[in-house]
Structure 1
Amino acid sequence: MGWSLTIGRIAGTEIRLHITFLLFLAWIGIADYVAGGAAAALDSLAFIALVFLCVTLHEFGHIAMGRRFGIKTPQVILSPIGGIASMERMPEKPMQELLVAIAGPLVNVAIALLLIAVFGLGLTGAAGLDFDSATLAERLLLVNITLVLFNLVPAFPMDGGRVLRALLAMKMGAARATAIAARIGQGFAALFVVLGLFYSPVLMLVGVFIYFAAAAEQQTASFAGFASRLRVADAMEPSPLVLNATQPISVAVDALLSSPQKDFPVLGANGRLAGLLDRDAIILALRDRGGEAAVGEAMRPSQPLAAAQPLGAAFIAMRNRGAGAEVVLDEAGRIAGVLTNDNVAEMMLIASVRPGWRFRRR
């Protein structure tokens, strides 16, 4: 997610603050300072900081459980509507997904029990608690109880929705389970938006986020089903035009205009793959350096894919690197093609209208 700042790293996972979170803190601090002075502002900021510490611990519950199943999480991003743990992938087995999903709320249960034990608080009075007059510990107890209950709402892709999908996937295929969970999630999203009109704009934002996140998760699941039977060679653009690192950018411009290709493998002086030059890099180099600049100055490093590699894993790895295209090598290490986001998207479009379509092997 863009517009975020790294504030630390724990066990290989970056903790990032979205810029809207900082704006939210500033808004709360200024509003409370105007209403009650410096003491009120500091009290509110301290409470929010502790709340988001609980949210961060919640996300690291997911991260720790995911790590048990070999799933890495490069970063977790905190925003005003909560935390987002960016896992490299979700578990393939339903029971593993259930455990990863439930691990976050269980952390909040543990925090609530710790607050009860340390401060002698009681659950019976939490429902009727006056939030404004409550102590800091009582407010944190109520927040953690709310986080547990809210996150377990079966609105996919929230934790409760993932638990629902995992339970459904135990009885039916993953694709059908995802479709059902996504529709339920979008139904809850619409409900949140309606309730937000009357109670809280934040609830509206959560509803909008859930709606689009559920649609994205359904698309991801559809891709996994479609790609499970394909290799990289089935989706790549074969026999691409190849440039040399010593050639001028003007040659790349001619290649761009004379072919439908937008991404060009680049060979080094030793005849081996040196990088990849895409359309945007060509235009920027032409603008900033002129047509005589060398292709090697504008290309980016390549992390080539194998033609025989499963398409799903290769495409996810490419997406996690933020690459729109990647060079494909055959078994002998020769350039066999280029895999692009556009090609995969076109294949998914065909598969959506003709699920049984047999793509011609290349």
Structure 2
Amino acid sequence: MRWSWRLGEVAGIAVYVHVTFLVLVGWVAVSHWLPERSIAAALAGSGFILALFGCVVLHEFGHALTAKRYGIRTRDITLLPIGGVARLERMPDVPIQELWVALAGPAVNVVIAGLLFVWLALTSGLEPLSQLGVATGPFVQRLMVVNLFLVGFNLIPAFPMDGGRMLRAFLAMRMEYTRATQVAAGLGQGIAVLFGFIGLFTNPFLLFIALFVWIGAGQEASMAQMKSALGGIPVGRAMLTDFRTLSARDSLARAVELILAGSQQDFPVVEDDRVEGVLMRSDLLAALASRGQVVPVAEVMRRNFYLVDSSDMLETAFARLQACDCHTLPVMHDGRLVGLVTMENLGEFISIQTAIKAKVA
């Protein structure tokens, strides 16, 4: 994700923090400093936010490590002001596995809250809940309460929260996966409408949550429908066959010429009939801004890239496009480059097939 800085790596999973998260920490520090003009208050406020997001990171690792048990890799975890995002390569295909992956995150928060409760009970540190506030009350007890809040919030049966995925997993045990997704997404959007209505009269923050849930539910339903529509169709039926390639010795100026002359954005780099790399439009623009047009393609192209075979199913190509930080996959057949497949290409293919089926019906 752009505007993110790498904090480190745990269990082979990179952890990033987005710049907007640092803005949140700064805002909290200033808001705590202003009432008393106290540096100690500012440090206490920002420290609580950092501790809270430490719990969020552990929540995301709950998802990631459970997914790893089922052979699903997590690309990275990114901290945002709205929480953490663990980017799994894919969700499990088996409903019970998706259920466990979704449940693992809230379960981590339950364990954290339980450990904090035991500590407070042993140290006689429990205070009445009426004395707790967003910025007031014992640090550890506030952290315990917030973890319980995270559990409740994430169990709301609406995408993109964990509860929505758990609901979809339960439904998928009894009905077709795409239909289960549509039902869960519909319920989620109904909850979004309810949140929005309540937010109009109470807390404006609920309006933000309502929009977040509405968009997340719609995206999940669209993705499931696209995945279902692509099942059983070979890549060779939908790939782009009219495309251009580059040589590793070409300059970036040549890539600029090809982009301006057509609609292709990314270019396979071919040497002796072998695909040696892929020049992505985003990498090209970054190199043009910093180094100019005379740089050889070999210095900018990506050497680690995904491929698909023309006999692979479109569902496989779709999954790889989701998993990789790319927009184009080279398509091979008998070791030769025969086409390209993009997310836009898949969308157009589905639209055309839907139109044809509608005419036949």
Provide the TM-score with structure 1 as the length reference. Answer: 0.85
CA distance in 1, matches of 2:329, 2:292: 24
CA distance in 2, matches of 1:42, 1:262: 47
Contiguous gaps of at least 5 residues in structure 2: none
- Secondary structure in 1 matching 2:101: helix
- Could you say which residue in structure 1 is the equivalent of 2:352? 350
Amino acid at match of 1:289: Q
CA distance in 2, matches of 1:254, 1:81: 41
Q: Deviations over 1:299-337 (max 9, x none)?
A: 55454321112222223223432222222110x211211
The residue correspondences of 1:155-170 to structure 2 (distance < 5 A) are 155-170=158-173
Q: Contact conserved, 2:63 with 2:102, CA < 8 A, in 1?
A: yes
CA distance in 1, matches of 2:50, 2:252: 51
Q: Cα offset for 1:351?
A: 4.5
What value does the CA root-mean-square deviation take over the aligned residues? 3.2
Structure 2 CA distance for partners of 1:201 and 1:75, relative to 1, 3 Å: farther
Amino acid at match of 1:95: I
CA distance in 2, matches of 1:142, 1:188: 24
- Secondary structure in 1 matching 2:74: coil
**2:235 corresponds to 1:232:** yes
Q: Contact conserved, 2:26 with 2:46, CA < 8 A, in 1?
A: no
Q: Contact conserved, 1:157 with 1:213, CA < 8 A, in 2?
A: yes
CA distance in 1, matches of 2:246, 2:320: 25
- Could you say which residue in structure 2 is the equivalent of 1:220? 223
Provide the TM-score with structure 2 as the length reference. Answer: 0.85
Q: Deviations over 1:224-273 (max 9, x none)?
A: 101111222122112644454556777767766776655544432x3433
CA distance in 2, matches of 1:150, 1:51: 15
Amino acid at match of 1:137: V
Q: Cα offset for 1:103?
A: 1.0
- Secondary structure in 2 matching 1:289: coil
CA distance in 1, matches of 2:41, 2:213: 33
- Could you say which residue in structure 2 is the equivalent of 1:151? 154
Structure 2 CA distance for partners of 1:11 and 1:170, relative to 1, 3 Å: same
The residue correspondences of 1:5-44 to structure 2 (distance < 5 A) are 5-36=5-36, 37-44=38-45
Structure 2 CA distance for partners of 1:28 and 1:198, relative to 1, 3 Å: farther
Q: 1:336 aligns with which of 338, 341, 361?
A: 338
- Could you say which residue in structure 1 is the equivalent of 2:111? 110
Q: Contact conserved, 2:273 with 2:336, CA < 8 A, in 1?
A: no
- Secondary structure in 1 matching 2:188: helix
- Could you say which residue in structure 1 is the equivalent of 2:95? 94
Larger mean CA deviation between 80-89 and 252-261 belongs to: 252-261
Amino acid at match of 1:17: V
- Could you say which residue in structure 2 is the equivalent of 1:172? 175
Amino acid at match of 2:319: I
Q: Cα offset for 1:343?
A: 1.2
- Could you say which residue in structure 1 is the equivalent of 2:2? 2
- The number of residues matched between the two structures is 353
Q: 1:317 aligns with which of 317, 320, 333?
A: 320
Q: Cα offset for 1:46?
A: 1.6
Q: Contact conserved, 1:126 with 1:142, CA < 8 A, in 2?
A: no
Structure 2 CA distance for partners of 1:196 and 1:78, relative to 1, 3 Å: farther
Structure 2 CA distance for partners of 1:313 and 1:203, relative to 1, 3 Å: same
- Could you say which residue in structure 2 is the equivalent of 1:53? 54
Q: Cα offset for 1:29?
A: 0.6
CA distance in 2, matches of 1:259, 1:5: 35
Q: Deviations over 1:151-171 (max 9, x none)?
A: 111112211111111111111
Q: Contact conserved, 2:253 with 2:293, CA < 8 A, in 1?
A: no
Amino acid at match of 2:57: T
**2:293 corresponds to 1:289:** yes
Q: Cα offset for 1:177?
A: 0.7
CA distance in 1, matches of 2:22, 2:288: 36
Q: Cα offset for 1:78?
A: 1.5
**2:311 corresponds to 1:305:** no
Q: Contact conserved, 1:61 with 1:107, CA < 8 A, in 2?
A: yes
Structure 2 CA distance for partners of 1:328 and 1:188, relative to 1, 3 Å: same
Larger mean CA deviation between 166-175 and 333-342 belongs to: 333-342
Q: Cα offset for 1:196?
A: 3.6
Percent of residue pairs identical: 38
Structure 2 CA distance for partners of 1:154 and 1:41, relative to 1, 3 Å: same
Larger mean CA deviation between 34-43 and 97-106 belongs to: 34-43
Q: Cα offset for 1:285?
A: 6.4
The residue correspondences of 1:176-191 to structure 2 (distance < 5 A) are 176-191=179-194
Structure 2 CA distance for partners of 1:281 and 1:89, relative to 1, 3 Å: closer
Q: Contact conserved, 1:81 with 1:202, CA < 8 A, in 2?
A: no
CA distance in 1, matches of 2:244, 2:60: 45
Structure 2 CA distance for partners of 1:250 and 1:72, relative to 1, 3 Å: closer
Q: Deviations over 1:136-194 (max 9, x none)?
A: 12211211111111111111221111111111111111101101111111222233334
Structure 2 CA distance for partners of 1:102 and 1:267, relative to 1, 3 Å: closer
Amino acid at match of 1:130: L
CA distance in 1, matches of 2:263, 2:200: 48
